[in-house]
Amino acid sequence: MTANLRTGSDFARLSRRVSEAGLLDRRPGYYVFRIGLVATLFVSGWVAFFAIGDSWWQLGIAVFQAVMFGQIALLSHDLAHRQVFRTRRPSEIAGRIAGNLGVGMSYGWWMDKHTRHHANPNHEALDPDVDPDILVWSKEQARASKGLPRFIGRYQAFLFFPLLTLEGLNLHFSGIRAVSKPGIRRRGLEAALLLTHFALYFSALLVVLSPGKALVFFIVHKALWGVYMGSIFAPNHKGMPILSGDAELDFLRKQVLTSRNVRGGRIVDVALGGLNYQIEHHLFPSMPSPHLRRARPIVQGYCAEIGVPYHETGLVESYRLALRSLHEAGEPIRLSEGSPAETATGRR
C-alpha cells in the first residue's frame, strides 16, 4: 500500500512541473494554422487531380493524397484526445468530419480502440493493438496461435511492411463493420459520412480516370496510406515490454516503460504528427502536440530522478527494434515446425 502511494505520487509531481511550464495550455493559433494548411493541401490535391485528367501523372497525386490522408488521420487523433477543443461535442464534430468524411475511417470505432490502448498499452489481454489477430506480439501468443496468425507468424518480421500496404483497407473495413452494428455513438451519422466519403472518392476516380488507371490509382493510394499509417505507429510500442495479467505498475511506469520516443528533428515531428514523443503523449494525452517536444526534457529528467528507464532511439533504429521483436515473438512457431518435440511442447 505504501509503495502504491509513493509511486502514485510520482506522476502528480511530474504533472505539476509540466503544468507550471504551461505545457497543458491550449494552442488555438497553432491548430487553426495546421488545420487550415492540411485542408488547403488536401483540397489542392483534388483540384490538381481534376485538372490533370486521365493521365498516368495521376500516380503522383495518389502518392500526395496518401500523405494527406495520413495527416488528416493525425489531426483526427489530436481531436479525439481533446488537444484542440476542451469539450467533447466540438471534438466529436470535427473528428467525424476529418475521420469519416475526410479519409473514410470511423471516428467512433477508432476512438474506442485507441482509448483502450492508452489505458493499458502493450497489455496482451487489454490493449487491442497487440491482439494476435494477424500478427503475434509475444512468444506466449505464438505458442497459442492458430490459423492465419500461426501461418504469418513464422516470418512476420519480413512480412510486416508488405502487410502494411493493406492497413488502409483494414481501417476502412473496420469502420464499415463498426457502423453496421450497434455499439458506437451516433452510428447513423457516422455511417452517412462514411457513405458520402466513398461515394465522392469512387465517383471522382471513375469520372476522371479510365477503369485501368482508376484501379492503379486506388491501389497505389491505399497501399501507401497504409504503409504511412503503420510507419507512424509502429515505432512507438513495438519491441517494448509486453504486459500480461495484473501488472503491478502505477500510471507513470505503465506508460513510460511500454513506450519509445523517436529522435529526428522537425521533419520527423511533422511526418509522425508529434507521436514520436510517445512517452510524453501517453503521460499527457490532451497535451497539444507542439508542446510534446518541450515536455520531453522535463519528463526525461524526472524519469532519471526517480530511476525509471526512458527509451529513445532514431527512426531507423526504432523500426529495427520493432522488426527484431516481431521475429523473436515468432520463434516458437518456427521451432515447433522444425522439431516434433518442440511441437509437443508448444501445444501443451
- Per-residue pLDDT at 300: 97
- 285 within some domain: yes
pLDDT digits (tens, 9 = 90+) for 257-284: 999 999 988 999 999 999 999 999 999 9
In a domain, 236, yes or no: yes
Percent of the chain exceeding pLDDT 70 equals: 94
Categorize the per-residue pLDDT at 343 as very low, low, confident or very high, splitting at 50, 70 and 90: very low
**Residues facing 262 on adjacent strands:** 313
Provide mean pLDDT across the span 103-126. Answer: 92
In a domain, 342, yes or no: no
User: What confidence score (pLDDT) does residue 342 get?
Assistant: 43
Residue 35 in any domain: the answer is yes
pLDDT of residue 9: 78
In a domain, 267, yes or no: yes
- C-beta separation of 226 from 165 below 8 A: yes
Of the candidates 77, 104, 80, 99, the residue with the CA atom closest to the CA atom of residue 90: 80
Name the residue range of residue 76's domain.
10-332
Can you say whether the dihedral through the CA atoms of 35, 36, 39, 45 is positive or negative?
negative
Q: How many domains does the structure of the chain reveal?
A: 1
> Does 125 map to a domain?
yes
The mean pLDDT of the chain is 91
Is the per-residue pLDDT at 4 higher than 50? no
pLDDT of 298 reads 97
Q: Is residue 344 part of a domain?
A: no
Q: What is the pLDDT of residue 235?
A: 87
Is the pLDDT reported for residue 182 higher than 90?
no
For residue 17, the one-letter residue type is: R
The pLDDT, as a whole number, for residue 209 is 98
The pLDDT score that the predictor gives to residue 289 is 95
Residue 246 forms part of a structural domain: yes
